[in-house]
Chains A and B, each alone.
Chain A
Amino acid sequence: MPTAEITEASLPTTLPVVRIVPSRGWLKLDLASLWKHRELLYFLIWREIKVRYKQTALGAAWALLQPLLTMLIFTLFFGRLAKMPSDGVPYSIFAFTGLVPWTFFANAMSLSSNSLVNSSNLITKVYFPRLSIPIASALSGLLDLVIAFSFVIVMMLYYRMSFTWKCAFIPLFVLLAAATALGVGFWLSALNVKYRDVRHTVPFLVQFWMFATPIVYPTSLLHEPWRTIYGLNPMVGVVEGFRWSLLGSSARPGPMLAVSCASALFLLVSGAYYFRRVERGFADLI
């Protein structure tokens, strides 16, 4: 027979009390728990980056080569041969400024979709907020983004383009890209635990999404209101934002950007809530 129940009042004040009970329905996001385990998140990100760089022969260079080589192919086929318009700037830098945030997003999507299943050894043995795992996968690409971005600066210098005050907005666009990556990551990683074939749809999803984003072509090809509706793809806002702040080539993003932000926020919040709702079954399904 249980004796008196443990209540906060009856304990020495230093001890934390945790109640483990069945949960139902939609759960709180419990950001406090995520914050408490922030050091673990740091280590998980650090682990991803370290391992990735140790394993590839090229190491950090791969962060640059991926968008760079793609840009060269695009410049050849879309820029030269197909003569795609590029808002008045050289096609190569036009494509590259789109590819840098895109590579971050595409990698984040691929990595985070399988992140939970890959971390099954952690999930079945240790307690920590499971959201940390797709967050670590998605955000580990930020370092690569910074490396690739340094080459953007090199290219801009090469083409003798000037840096304006608009460059100060770059971190905001990176934030938008990160939010989108996280949102998509939450959805995919959570779905993949229950439906294992989701992982196989991801390469297709990445391809499709790339063409739905104005990397190869400019948004100026579209007229209003389509241009604003196009903003429903949050990466549109990111790429346009990058181009606007670095190259000054496109018109102010305005309503399109607003739609992108709303869309990204929706993905992020819905993804997080869905994840939390199905989280309780992870250890049993993996």
Chain B
Amino acid sequence: MSDIAVQVENLGKKYRIPHQGKRGEATLREVLAQTAGSLFRGRRSGRDRVEEFWALRDVTLDVRRGDVVGIIGRNGAGKSTLLKLLSRITEPTAGAIVVAGRIASLLEVGTGFHNELTGRENIFLNGAILGMHRAEIRRKFDDIVEFSGVEQFLDTPVKYYSSGMYMRLAFSIAAHLEPDILVVDEVLAVGDAEFQKKCLGKMREVAEQSGRTVIFVSHNMQAVKSLCNYAAHLASGRLVSYGPTSEIVRGYLAAGSSNTGRWENERPGDDERSEVQLLSMEVSDAHGSVGVYPSSSELTISMTFRLREPMAGFCLGFDLVTADGTTVLRSYQTDQAEDAWPRQAKGVQQWSCRIPAGLLCGGEYFVSPRISIHNVRWLIVLEAVLQFEVILDHGVSPFWNSLSGKSRPGVVAPILEWTSDAVGMSAFDDSDLSRAQYSNVDAGHTK
């Protein structure tokens, strides 16, 4: 049917990883020496072992025109490989992709920017690299400059820009691409919170208003849920499921998370010298329940990790996420006042935190660890390692639940305090009331 924008059929990508002294790079000298050696010895001598590794295997899906598809999966699932194949940066080993329409890829912000060139020059250069024609760039030039907000510095070399200006300019150019199909990697992972919000807003605009087909890779379940109507879950190079977003996100979070209350990291980090290794996480309450907890219990989330050395700016914590990917809260040890922060020790240690009783609403929750250096970089970001269910039972009122369900709307269910401030209409006289009405009009509430 002609409404398919991208058709992927049995797509596969195999990488060959040579196991030599130096990984990947061969030198002419080595090749010549090997060939000479094998000539003398009369057979293939010391043939290096070559490991074959399928980054993607048998992936088949159809993306309809106008769909916004999120590609989700854990690290190493093959998401970036799929993007690279769609962007024609690398070639498939098997299968095929058929693309109908002009495709543009945004795998990085500011590709090709050169520090010595001015903002104006970089707009043209980057635009051309992304696939815009010169006439197109000229036509959109003013819009690009306005969106980025660097008009004042347009003719200074980009090396003098702050990182924020750089990002805004780079993103602004990319945001004005008008392809039929847009392929986006997690460019939103860079930049500060405000910039991320702006990017998300623009992406939403692109997706909703223009009816463009978008394929979007992200770890951010919130973004995926809010932007995408379809999602594809990849794991170990294979397509696990493809369908409407909420279903797929639910399946993704549930797969690979432990619901026994304890999760052990099978791959804490290959490098012994890495700065931090997350070893395990546990969730528990005072009553020893497993997997299902009453909301009237205080929950303890503990994280066991190994620290090579104490680090400045070290933030350790997690995101608490609902079954369909909404983040309920993010908590770090550094949220407290500084003198209450737990001390970092060298080696293995365990920190824990308590989620107050009477906070969570009923439903399924996931815990996603987050470890970073504050405002510098992420150290460990994993999705949904622990899974548990909360039964809503901390109500003290006969009206706590409705007849229709065991739970309430909302992701949190704190019992807030209600008081009465004023009693009786005599607290207002008529003139006060009419004044109140008029002030509403001024504020533009009517009409």
Contact = CB atoms under 8 A, between A and B. Distances in A.
| A interacts with B | yes
Contact of B1 (A3, A125, A196, A283): A3
Nearest to B89: A283
A196 B25 CA distance: 7
B2 interface: yes
B85 A20 contact: yes
A43 B116 contact: no
Given A21-B96, A125-B108, 5 more contacts: A19-B99, A21-B92, A124-B89, A126-B89, A195-B31
B101 A16 contact: yes
Interface size class of B (residues with CB under 8 A): 35 or more
B440 to A, nearest CB: 51
A195 B26 contact: yes
B7 A20 contact: no
Contacts of B27: 195-197
Interface stretch (A6-14, A145-153, A208-216, A246-254): A6-14
Interface of A: 1-6, 10-12, 15-23, 39-40, 42-43, 46-47, 50-51, 54-55, 121-128, 191, 194-198, 201, 280, 283-285
A53 to B, nearest CB: 10
A11 B29 contact: no
A17 B15 CA distance: 27
A122 B129 contact: yes
Nearest to B102: A16
Given A47-B117, A127-B88, A3 B4 contact: yes
B58 interface: no
Given A10-B1, A195-B28, A284-B15, A127 B98 contact: no
A125 B114 contact: no
B38 to A, nearest CB: 18
Interface in B112-132: 112, 114, 116-117, 121, 124-125, 128-131
Given A2-B9, A10-B2, A197-B29, A43 B125 contact: yes
Contacts of B350: none
Contacts of B101: 15-16
A51 B28 contact: no
Interface in B79-118: 84-103, 105, 107-108, 111-112, 114, 116-117
B212 to A, nearest CB: 13
A22 B134 contact: no
Contacts of A18: 88, 98-99, 103
Contact of A17 (B1, B93, B98, B107): B98
A17 B90 contact: no
A43 B128 contact: yes
Interface string B1-42: 110100101000001000000001111110100000000000
B406 interface: no
A43 B134 CA distance: 10
Nearest to B108: A125
Contacts of B102: 15-16
Contacts of B151: none
B31 A283 contact: no
A42 B128 CA distance: 9
A118 B105 CA distance: 21
B184 to A, nearest CB: 12
27 contacts: A1-B60, A2-B62, A4-B1, A6-B98, A10-B1, A16-B100, A18-B99, A19-B99, A20-B91, A21-B97, A40-B129, A46-B125, A47-B114, A50-B116, A50-B121, A55-B116, A121-B112, A124-B84, A126-B89, A127-B105, A191-B28, A194-B26, A195-B27, A196-B25, A197-B27, A198-B28, A283-B89
A40 B137 CA distance: 12
Contacts of B134: 39
A-B complex: 5 closest residue pairs judged by Cβ atoms: A127-B88, A20-B97, A195-B28, A43-B128, A197-B27
Given A20-B85, A194-B26, A280 B7 contact: no
B28 A3 contact: no
B250 interface: no
Contact of A51 (B29, B96, B107, B116): B116
Given A6-B7, A121-B111, A285-B24, A17 B91 contact: no
Nearest to B6: A6
Contacts of A10: 1-2
A234 B169 CA distance: 46
Best-buried of A1, A55, A127, A196 by chain B (most CB within 10 Å): A127
Contacts of A50: 116-117, 121
